[in-house]
C-alpha cells in the first residue's frame, strides 16, 4: 500500500531550479493514481479519471461520496477554490493589497449574514448539513494531505489556504444586482428626471412593454451621480496577488490588449438550451442539449464530475466549490439551464430623520438602523475598521446626509437558501420531470430557465428563481427605486412562475429571451431593446426538423450547438449587391461580402470584413437596410463604401497587407491566461462563431444527451479539468473545444472502465 502525506524539502538541486516556474509546478502536482490514506473516510472510495480528466467517484455511502468530491475538486482546483472563497468572504485585500479594500467592504456588506440556519439548510436538500460538511471535510483533507507542498501558486505567493466549513459552499453575493439590474434602475431614474417617464421608457423599449410609473413619493433629484457611482463598484472575482520577493526573475501576469468590436459581437455571454420529445428524435426518447455561457477563463469556471453511491448516480458539471452536479443527468432525467434574468433586487430610498441620521422613516415613525462593526485586513497596512448599517429593507450602500436619504438594497441574497446552484442537490435525485418541477420550488438562485427530459418521455421547463411579489399604491415592477417609507414592499414570493410540461409542438428552447407567455402578469423581468437572434435561429432549426427523415440525432444537436449563421449578417449582404465600385480595393471587399453566406467561420475573410465594416457604420445599418428596401440606394452606397474604406485601413493596420491573413478567427481569439503567472498561460485559439450566433463565445461546457443511451452522452469543456500547470489535464481540451469536437461522458461502470486513464483509491487512514 502507498501512503502519501508528504512534505517536500528543497535541497541544492531543487533550489537551483526554484527560478523555473515549470519545475516548481511539476514538484507540486496532485497525485491522481495509486492509493492515499485519509482520515475522515468510512470506507474505500475509487476515483477513476477518464482520458479527458473527468473524475468518476464510486463510494459506499453519502458521506464518503461528497468527502471525495471535495477532495478531488481540491486536487485539481485548490488555488481557484481559495481565490473564490476570499472573493466571497471579502478577504481579498489581505493578500492583494489596498486596491481591493473597497471591494471587500462591499462584499461583506452585501453578504448573507445569518449562517447555516434551519431554513437555510432545509432549502437545499433534506441532508444539506451532511453533504456540506462532508464536502468541506474533503477539501480540508486535501490541504492537510499536501502539507507544505501545496499547488505552485501557493508556493509563489506564500499564501496558506484556511480550513473550510460546511458554510463555505453557501457563500453568495448580491453583486449581480449591484453591477446589473440595480445600476440600470438608477440610470433609468436619472433619465426619467431628465426626459420624463414616457420618453425614458420609449428609449428603453422594454419587453414586455409596460408604461413606466414613477413610484409615489420618490424624489428623483436625490439620485445623483454619486449614488450611481456607489452602486457601480466593480467587485469581480479576479484580482492580482503579488509573488514572494524570492522569485525576482519571474514576471507576474501583464494586461493584454484586445481589438475592439461592436457591442454584442465579441464578448457576448448568453446561453442556449433545448429539449425535444421522443416523437422528434431518432431513438424515440427525449433528447436534451445545453450550452450555458459564462466568462471563459483559466481554470475553467465549471468542473465536471460523476458521483456514484447508494441513492446517488449523477454526472455533469458544476462549480468546483459546490457539492453535487448543477447541470447534467442521473439515471432518470437530464436537465440544463440558461439565465432568465428575473428581477430579484430593488433599491429602497430611506428617509433619514432630520436631526438623527441613524434613524429612518417607516410608516409614520422613525426606527433605528441596525449597526455592525467589522475589521478588514489589508496587505501592507494596519487593519481597517468598517461600520455597516442596515434598514429593514437591507444593507445601506450609500448615505446622503445633505439630501436626507439613504439607499438600501433589498435582495434575494438576504433570504435563506439562495446560495447559487445548491438547489440542484434535489434535482440530482429526481426520478422524472414532475419531481423535477417540484424541486424547482426550492430553486432560488440564480434565476434560470430549467429544462428537463425524462426516460418516461416527458419534457418540462420552469423559469425558476426566488421572485419577489411587489406591492405598492402605484404599479411597481422593479424598474425604478421606491421609497422605503412602507408603501412599497415585498409581500412574500411568487408561486406562479411560467412553466411548460409536454407542449404540443414537441420541443422547448430558451436563449435568454423574453420567456413570459402572452398575458403573463405581473412580469418577472424585462428585456431592453430585445434581440432574440439566438432563440429565433434555434426555433427555426427545431421547427425544420432533423436530418433523419425529420428526426433529430445527437449529431444534429452537435451541429446546432456550433451553428454560426448570423441572420443579421446574411440580411446585410444585400447592401453589397447590385452595384460596383471604381476603387479596386473597395470592390474586392464588396465582392467578398456580397458572396458571403452569413456564417462566422473562423477562416472567413468576408466575416471579418463585415464585422469591421459594421463597426465603422455602427448605428447606421438599420437606416441603410431601410434605404435598400425603399430603392433609395445612392446615398446608402456612399456610406457603405466609406465604411469599407475604413474597414480595409483598420484591418491592414491590424493584420498587415497580406489579405489571406484577414479572417474572422484573427479577431475572434480566445486566450487562456493563468491568473498569476504568464509562464503558465495556455495557447490562444481562433474560434468560429460569436457575433450573436448560437455558437456564442461564452460557452466552454456543452452537454448533449439522448435519454435512450446514457453512455452516448457527449460534452465539451475548456481549457481542461485541472487548474494545475504541468498536469496531464491542464489545457488538454483546448484544441478539441476550438474545433467543435466532443468527448463522451461515460456513465455505466463498464463504459467508465473503458476510458479510464488514472485510477486513484482513497482509503480510511489506519489507526
Predicted pLDDT of residue 619: 64
By the 10 Å C-beta count (0-12 exposed, 13-18 middle, 19+ buried), 246 is classed as exposed
CA pair distance 13, 731, nearest whole angstrom: 28
Contact 441, 465 (CB under 8 A): no
Higher pLDDT, 251 or 109: 109
Q: Is the CA virtual torsion 440, 444, 445, 449 positive or negative?
A: positive
pLDDT, position 6: 29
Number of domains into which the chain is organized: 1
The CA distance from 320 to 301, in Å, is: 8
Structure confidence at residue 295 as a pLDDT band (50, 70, 90)? confident
Q: Is 334 domain-assigned?
A: no
| Residue-level pLDDT at 174 | 79
Residue 122: what pLDDT? Answer: 97
* CATH of residue 660: 1.10.1400.10
Write down the pLDDT at residue 348. Answer: 98
Place of cell 480566445: 670
Collect all residues with Cβ–Cβ distance below 8 Å to 72 and sequence separation of at least 6: 47, 55, 57, 138, 305
Read off the pLDDT of residues 26-47 as tens digits, 9 standing for 90 and up: 999 999 999 999 999 999 999 9
The C-alpha cell at 644 is 469599407
Q: What pTM was computed for the model?
A: 0.94
CA distance 450 to 499: 9
> Which residue's entry shows cell 453578504?
111
643 domain residue, yes or no: yes
Query: Residue 9 — very low, low, confident or very high, per pLDDT cuts 50/70/90?
Result: very low
| pLDDT tens string 161-191 | 999 999 999 999 877 555 468 899 999 999 9
What percent of the chain has a predicted confidence (pLDDT) above 90? 86
pLDDT mean over 16-24: 76
Question: 628 is in which domain, residue-wise?
Answer: 567-667
In a domain, 606, yes or no: yes
547-593 confidence digits (pLDDT tens): 999 999 999 999 999 999 999 999 999 999 999 999 999 999 999 99
Rounded CA gap, 693 and 714, in Å? 21
Q: Does 288 fall in a domain?
A: no
Task: Tell whether 594 is covered by a domain.
Answer: yes
**Lowest-pLDDT choice from 173-177, 215-219, 259-263, 608-612:** 259-263
Query: Cα separation of 509 and 156, whole Å?
Result: 46
Q: What pLDDT is stored for residue 18 in this prediction?
A: 56
Q: Is residue 456 part of a domain?
A: no
CB 509 within 8 A of CB 539: yes
**Residue 294, pLDDT score:** 83
Q: Which residues contact 87 (CB under 8 A, 6 or more apart)?
A: 107, 237, 239
Residue 365 or 234, more confident: 365
Q: How far apart are CA 499 and CA 506, in angstroms?
A: 15
Q: In the prediction, which pLDDT does 258 show?
A: 39
Taking the CB of residue 91, how many other CB atoms lie within 10 A of it?
18
Closest CA to 450 of 51, 459, 702: 459
Which whole number is the average pLDDT over 76-93?
A: 96
Is 346 in contact with 481 (CB distance < 8 Å)?
A: yes
* Pairing mode of beta strands 499-501, 365-368: unpaired
In this predicted structure, the answer to whether residue 8 has a pLDDT above a threshold of 50 is no
Q: In the chain, what is the straight-line distance between the N-terminal and C-terminal CA atoms, in Å?
A: 15
- Does the pLDDT value for residue 4 go beyond 50? no
Q: What is the pLDDT of residues 251-292, one digit of tens each?
A: 765 444 334 444 444 456 689 999 999 999 999 999 999 999
User: What is the model's pLDDT at position 26?
Assistant: 96
Q: Is the Cβ–Cβ distance between 156 and 250 less than 8 Å?
A: yes
Give the closest residue to 77 by CA, choosing from 21, 143, 27, 159: 143
Q: Is residue 509 part of a domain?
A: no
d(CA 522, CA 515): 13
CB atoms within 10 A of CB 221: 9
Q: Which residue has the cell 426619467?
A: 192
426 falls within a domain:
no
Amino acid at each position: 500500500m502507498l501512503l502519501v502525506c508528504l512534505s517536500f524539502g528543497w535541497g541544492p538541486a531543487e533550489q537551483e531550479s526554484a527560478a523555473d516556474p515549470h519545475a516548481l509546478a511539476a514538484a507540486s502536482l496532485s497525485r491522481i493514481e495509486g492509493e492515499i490514506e485519509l482520515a475522515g473516510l468510512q470506507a474505500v472510495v475509487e476515483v477513476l479519471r477518464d482520458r479527458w480528466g473527468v473524475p468518476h467517484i464510486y463510494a459506499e455511502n453519502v458521506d464518503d461520496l461528497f468527502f471525495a468530491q471535495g477532495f478531488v475538486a481540491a486536487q485539481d482546483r485548490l488555488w481557484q477554490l481559495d481565490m473564490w472563497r476570499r472573493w466571497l468572504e471579502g478577504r481579498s485585500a489581505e493578500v492583494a493589497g489596498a486596491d481591493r479594500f473597497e471591494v471587500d467592504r462591499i462584499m461583506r456588506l452585501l453578504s448573507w449574514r445569518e449562517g447555516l440556519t434551519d431554513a437555510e439548510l432545509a432549502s437545499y436538500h433534506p441532508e444539506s448539513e451532511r453533504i456540506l460538511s462532508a464536502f468541506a471535510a474533503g477539501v480540508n483533507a486535501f490541504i492537510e494531505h499536501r502539507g507544505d507542498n501545496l499547488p505552485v501558486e501557493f508556493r509563489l505567493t506564500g499564501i496558506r489556504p484556511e480550513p473550510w466549513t460546511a458554510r463555505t459552499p453557501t457563500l453568495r453575493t448580491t453583486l449581480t444586482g449591484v453591477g446589473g439590474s440595480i445600476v440600470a434602475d438608477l440610470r433609468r431614474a436619472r433619465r426619467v428626471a431628465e426626459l420624463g417617464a414616457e420618453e425614458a421608457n420609449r428609449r428603453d423599449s422594454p419587453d414586455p412593454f409596460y408604461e413606466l410609473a414613477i413610484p409615489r413619493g420618490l424624489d428623483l433629484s436625490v439620485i445623483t451621480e454619486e449614488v450611481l457611482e456607489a452602486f457601480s463598484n466593480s467587485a469581480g472575482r479576479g484580482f492580482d496577488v503579488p509573488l514572494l520577493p524570492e522569485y525576482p526573475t519571474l514576471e507576474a501576469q501583464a494586461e493584454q490588449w484586445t481589438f475592439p468590436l461592436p457591442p454584442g459581437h465579441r464578448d457576448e455571454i448568453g446561453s442556449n438550451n433545448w429539449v425535444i420529445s421522443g416523437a422528434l428524435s431518432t431513438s424515440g426518447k427525449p433528447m436534451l442539449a445545453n450550452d450555458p455561457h459564462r466568462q471563459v477563463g483559466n481554470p475553467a469556471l465549471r468542473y465536471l464530475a460523476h458521483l456514484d453511491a447508494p441513492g446517488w448516480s449523477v454526472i455533469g458539471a458544476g462549480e468546483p466549490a459546490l457539492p453535487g452536479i448543477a447541470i447534467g443527468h442521473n439515471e432518470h432525467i437530464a436537465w440544463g439551464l440558461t439565465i432568465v434574468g428575473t428581477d430579484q433586487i430593488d433599491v429602497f430610498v430611506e428617509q433619514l430623520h432630520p436631526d438623527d441620521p441613524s434613524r429612518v422613516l417607516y410608516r409614520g415613525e422613525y426606527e433605528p438602523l441596525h449597526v455592525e462593526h467589522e475589521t478588514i485586513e489589508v496587505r501592507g497596512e494596519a487593519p481597517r475598521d468598517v461600520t455597516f448599517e442596515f434598514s429593514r429593507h437591507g444593507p445601506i450602500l450609500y448615505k446622503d446626509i445633505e439630501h436626507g436619504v439613504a439607499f438600501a438594497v433589498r435582495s434575494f441574497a438576504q433570504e435563506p437558501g439562495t446560495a447559487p446552484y445548491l438547489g440542484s442537490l434535489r434535482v440530482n435525485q429526481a426520478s422524472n420531470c414532475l419531481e423535477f418541477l417540484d424541486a424547482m420550488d426550492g430553486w432560488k438562485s440564480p434565476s434560470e430557465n430549467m429544462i428537463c427530459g425524462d426516460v418516461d418521455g416527458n419534457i418540462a421547463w420552469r423559469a425558476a428563481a426566488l421572485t419577489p411579489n411587489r406591492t405598492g399604491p402605484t404599479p411597481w415592477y422593479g424598474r425604478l427605486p421606491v421609497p422605503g417609507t412602507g408603501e412599497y414592499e415585498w409581500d412574500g414570493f411568487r408561486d406562479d412562475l411560467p412553466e411548460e410540461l409536454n407542449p404540443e409542438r414537441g420541443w422547448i428552447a430558451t436563449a435568454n429571451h423574453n420567456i413570459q407567455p402572452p398575458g403573463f402578469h405581473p412580469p418577472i423581468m424585462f428585456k431592453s431593446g430585445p434581440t432574440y437572434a439566438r432563440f429565433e435561429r434555434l426555433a427555426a432549426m427545431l421547427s425544420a426538423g432533423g436530418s433523419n427523415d425529420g428526426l433529430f440525432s445527437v449529431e444534429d444537436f452537435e451541429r446546432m450547438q456550433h451553428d454560426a449563421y448570423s441572420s443579421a449578417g446574411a440580411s446585410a449582404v444585400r447592401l453589397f449587391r447590385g452595384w460596383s465600385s471604381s476603387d479596386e480595393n473597395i470592390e474586392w471587399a464588396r465582392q467578398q461580402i456580397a458572396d458571403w453566406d452569413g456564417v462566422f467561420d473562423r477562416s472567413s475573410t468576408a466575416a471579418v470584413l463585415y464585422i469591421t465594416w459594421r463597426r465603422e457604420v455602427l448605428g447606421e445599418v438599420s437606416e441603410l437596410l431601410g434605404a435598400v428596401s425603399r430603392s433609395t440606394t445612392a446615398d446608402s452606397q456612399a456610406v457603405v463604401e466609406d465604411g469599407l474604406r475604413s474597414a480595409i485601413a483598420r484591418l491592414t493596420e491590424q493584420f498587415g497587407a497580406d489579405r489571406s491573413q484577414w479572417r474572422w478567427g484573427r479577431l475572434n481569439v480566445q486566450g487562456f491566461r493563468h491568473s498569476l503567472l504568464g509562464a503558465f498561460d495556455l495557447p490562444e485559439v481562433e474560434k468560429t462563431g460569436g457575433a450573436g450566433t448560437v455558437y456564442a463565445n461564452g460557452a466552454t461546457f456543452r452537454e448533449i444527451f439522448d435519454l435512450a443511451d446514457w453512455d452516448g452522452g457527449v460534452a465539451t469543456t475548456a481549457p481542461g479539468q485541472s487548474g494545475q500547470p504541468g498536469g496531464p489535464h491542464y489545457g488538454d481540451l483546448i484544441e478539441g473545444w476550438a474545433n467543435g469536437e466532443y468527448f463522451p461522458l461515460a456513465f455505466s461502470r463498464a463504459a467508465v472502465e473503458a476510458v479510464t486513464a488514472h485510477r486513484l483509491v482513497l482509503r480510511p487512514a489506519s489507526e
